[in-house]
Structure 1
């Protein structure tokens, strides 16, 4: 059985305008609302790599990377 893939959520804080779409759409709640609506990632291991946050981000501030 192949190993479960793991992903890392990278948010470019210089591009992010804290619109909240990423944590609104995240099915696993990997991205959650932090202070002042700032997206936070308390546990990267919850990410399933669906890329919904990356696709919905209007500022191109999110990059999902598959970890080796």
Structure 2
């Protein structure tokens, strides 16, 4: 049986830390960086538990700055 995994890529330099992606993620994959800021001075989003990503794309759909890309990877059992 095949399993679907997701991969999230976030352009942290463009992220303004609006938190919409964090709220939209059903698997609690994303969080805002509490201590670091990007070049624009914002606490940016990052994948805190990337292994839980299911590749739904909800985070990318709500991102107003299009900073997020989501990929789906299908892993087939041998």
Q: Structure 2 length as normaliser, TM-score?
A: 0.74
Q: Is 1:40 the counterpart of 2:46 in the alignment?
A: yes
Gap runs ≥5 in structure 2 = 36-42
Gap runs ≥5 in structure 1 = none
Distance 1:3 1:44 in 2: 19
Kept in 1, the 8 Å contact 2:6–2:56? The answer is no
Q: Which has the larger radius of gyration?
A: 2
Distance 2:32 2:14 in 1: 17
For residues 32-68 of structure 1, the C-alpha deviation after alignment (integer angstroms, 9 at most, x for no partner) is: 2221642121221211111111000000000001236
Within 5 Å, give how 1:47-66 maps onto structure 2: 47-66=53-72
Q: What's the RMSD between the two structures over aligned residues?
A: 1.6
Question: Which residue of the partner structure matches residue 19 of structure 1?
Answer: 18
Segment drifting more, 33-42 vs 55-64: 33-42
- In proportion to residue count, which structure has more strand? 2
The structure 1 segments of at least 4 consecutive aligned residues displaced by more than 4 Å after TM superposition are none
